[in-house]
Amino acid sequence: MMNSVFDTRPFIDGHRVAPLTDVTFDVINPHTSERVARVPACSEAEIDQAVKAARAAFVDGRWSGLAPSQRAAHLFAWATAMEAARVELATLDSLQMGMPLSWGVDDLKSAIEAVRETAALATTLRDELVPAAVGTLAINQRRPHGVVGVISPWNFPCYIAMQKVATALVMGNTVVLKPSEVAPLGCLLLAELASRAGMPPGVFNAVPGLGAQAGRALALHMDVDALTFTGSSATGGALMASAGQSNLKSLVLECGGKSPQIVFDDLGDLNAVADALVQGFTFNTGQVCVAGTRLLVHRPLFARLKQQLLARMSDLRAGDPRDPEVTMGPLANASQHQRVSRMLQEAQDRGVSLLQPGPVQSGLHLAPTLAVDLSPADPLMQEELFGPVAGLLAFDTVDEAIAMANDSRYGLMATGWTSDLQLAHSLPGKLRSGTVHINTVPRPAHSHAMHLGAEPVGQSGFGAEGGVAGLSAMTRIRSIEIRGSA
Ligand code: NAD
């Protein structure tokens, strides 16, 4: 299907192909509620077509047979093609899920850097020669899985897909990407750009469709060797069931979060911390897996920090994502808006106070919200909302803060703010979290971040992403022993 404005067809075996179905779904602009595109609701048949193309490309060695540096060269060329299309990709993301365009363009820049950094890591994962008796060669070898399914979410549509696809590809796998139905257009273009930049056909395929159909078909496919997923914990659980029901495919699951930010009273100037905390739960309208939504504050600072947070929240500017002055877009879709609004209403009914000093708008825009007068067990402190909402709680001792921070079924990221060097060094060992930040925030554009690997804890998922650990997760280890004679 070719829309009047956007090409929505699946990209399979080096080409845009006609979908095998007439059924479509709508992609809606959350700011205007207008339809952006009608997209084919591909399912088993198209997924199977893509998996067959990916399998053929894997087996004949056109990709897996290349030296890592040759695959890296293809990724560098892909990154250059994305650079030329950066504004187009960011515009597509912004139109579909409402992120402010101005920082969407910056976000794409970071994502392209992440692809380049992944390419640069291509030769870092080395096979290992194991000491053995004279006459025996013993090797631990890293091999690609084969065909990797990538299932991605809508909150950073291109960024997350690019990072996952690049990691799988650089290790020699071939890929079938099923992007989120909320924002599939940029992801389809990514596959086309890779092909235009010279990537062999069948190496990177992208198929749009609904999760329960196309996503499920990919997860159940008997010829998909591994699946790397970013999305909700509920879908992560469904993927584990699908893997179990099919071929025991290997899984990397990067799921939901409810990240704590712990602020200790040894800090003098709270300005930078207050900036980081507000940014941490309102950035991308709070639709960030590592959003710091549980604000745990040492009691002596509580009143002062609360005032500083409210002042910054009132400075946020909501509105049209195309307006460069806008710092908060709408929530990404109507069901997301209904869900967050319902959870806020239920919290109010329980007696939780909701402080909303910032901009309120109609449509799918939601005011940034600070929830106070609530217990650590309150659903607002336990459930992932995926909206610009944080709960604020006071603590009296370090042990109490750690216990509150760890009181979550998730474990994606935890952050501590302190001037006490001893405390700073002791916190990571006590926090139950895949990533720990002390006095800093996630900055994906920083090249060193690409060398850091992390694996979530609890219901935030499992399997590493980032650095050599992330590359390793896109391979299987094989042991080889060779003796000169039998
Ligand atoms: P989601 O789980 O609803 O959808 C994610 C993807 O899974 C989509 O492509 C969807 O079509 C597909 N899907 C849905 N049901 C499926 C099924 N039964 N079988 C196969 N595929 C299926 O998540 P979302 O709403 O797109 O994204 C928001 C969630 O993603 C939040 O929970 C957020 O925390 C999480 N997230 C996690 C990270 C991380 O790195 N841990 C990063 C970003 C987002």
For a pLDDT cut of 90, what percent of the chain falls above it? 93
Q: What pLDDT score was predicted for residue 362?
A: 78
Q: Ligand 1, residue 210: give the atom nearest the CA.
A: 11
Phi-psi region of 296 (alpha: psi -120 to 50; beta: other; left: phi over 0): beta
pLDDT digits (tens, 9 = 90+) for 472-484: 999 999 999 999 8
For residue 233, how far is its CA from the centre of ligand 1 (angstroms)? 8
Task: Say if ligand 1 is within 6 A of residue 235 CB.
Answer: yes
Which are the catalytic amino acids?
254, 289
Q: Is the pLDDT confidence value at 183 over 70?
A: yes
In the chain, pLDDT over 70 holds for what percent of residues? 98
Mean per-residue pLDDT of the chain: 95
- Mean pLDDT (whole number) for 177-185: 98
Distance 36 CA to ligand 1 centre (A): 21
Domains present along the chain, CATH in parentheses:
3-255+461-482 (3.40.605.10), 260-448 (3.40.309.10)
Could you tell which of 93, 156, 158, 289 is best to mutate to test the pocket of ligand 1, judged by most ligand atoms within 8 Å of the CB?
A: 289
Structure tokens at 12: 């399979």
Over residues 171-181, the mean pLDDT reads: 98
How remote is the CA of residue 160 from the centroid of ligand 1, in Å?
Answer: 11
What confidence tens digit (pLDDT) does each residue in 133-159 have?
999 999 999 999 999 999 999 999 999
Q: Indicate which residue's Cα is closest to atom 12 of ligand 1.
A: 211
- Of all protein residues, the one whose alpha carbon is nearest to atom 19 of ligand 1 is 216
Within 316-397, residue ranges assigned H as helices are 334-349, 379-382
Cα(178) to ligand 1 centroid in Å equals: 11
- pLDDT for res 103: 87
Does the CB atom of residue 294 touch ligand 1 within 6 A? no
Q: Is the dihedral of CA 413, 418, 424, 427 positive or negative?
A: negative
pLDDT at res. 443: 73
The number of CA neighbours under 13 Å toward the Cβ of 145 is 26
Coil, helix or strand at residue 7: strand
What is the model's pLDDT at position 148? 99
Q: What is the pLDDT of residues 323-343, one digit of tens each?
A: 999 999 999 999 999 999 999
Q: What are phi and psi of 78, to 5 degrees?
A: -60, -45
Q: Supply 115's token pair.
A: 């692809």
Nearest-atom number in ligand 1 for the CA of 232 is 32
User: Which atom from ligand 1 is nearest to the alpha carbon of 465?
Assistant: 40
Predicted confidence at residue 262, as pLDDT, reads 98
Query: Which atom number of ligand 1 is nearest to the Cα of residue 156?
Result: 43
Residue-level pLDDT at 317: 92
Top mutation candidate among 154, 232, 340 for ligand 1, by most atoms within 8 Å of CB: 232
Confidence of residue 444 (pLDDT cuts 50, 70, 90): low
- Cβ–ligand 1 contact at 232 (below 6 Å): yes
Q: What's this model's pTM, rounded to 2 decimal places?
A: 0.97
Would the CB of 153 count as within 6 Å of ligand 1?
yes
pLDDT score for 28:
97
Helical axes 101-120 vs 157-170, angle rounded to 10°: 10
- Cα(471) to ligand 1 centroid in Å equals 21
Q: How far is CA 27 from the centre of its chain?
A: 20
pLDDT digits (tens, 9 = 90+) for 67-114: 999 999 999 999 999 999 999 999 999 999 999 999 899 989 999 999
> What pLDDT does 300 receive?
97
Does residue 219 line the site of ligand 1, with CB under 6 A? yes
Cβ–Cβ under 8 Å, residues 427 and 401: no
Q: Is the pLDDT of residue 3 over 70?
A: no
Ligand 1 atom closest to 219 (CA): 20
DSSP 13: T
Q: What is the mean pLDDT of residues 360-375?
A: 91
The per-residue pLDDT for 360 is 72
397 contacts: CB under 8 Å, gap ≥ 6:
none
Q: Does 447 have pLDDT greater than 80?
A: no
Q: Higher confidence at residue 388 or residue 444?
A: 388
Task: Give the pLDDT confidence of 261-316 residue by residue, as tens digits.
Answer: 999 999 988 999 999 999 999 999 999 999 999 999 999 999 999 999 999 999 99
Residues in the chain: 486
456: confidence class by pLDDT, cuts 50, 70, 90? very high
Kindly report the protein residue whose alpha carbon is nearest to atom 23 of ligand 1. 231
What is the spatial distance between Cα 1 and Cα 39, in angstroms, rounded to a whole number? 7
State the maximum Cα–Cα separation within the chain, in Å, rounded to a whole number. 78
Report the atom number in ligand 1 closest to the C-alpha of 209. 11
Structure tokens at 333: 């879709």
CA of 13 to the centre of ligand 1 (A): 26
410 lines ligand 1 (CB under 6 A): no
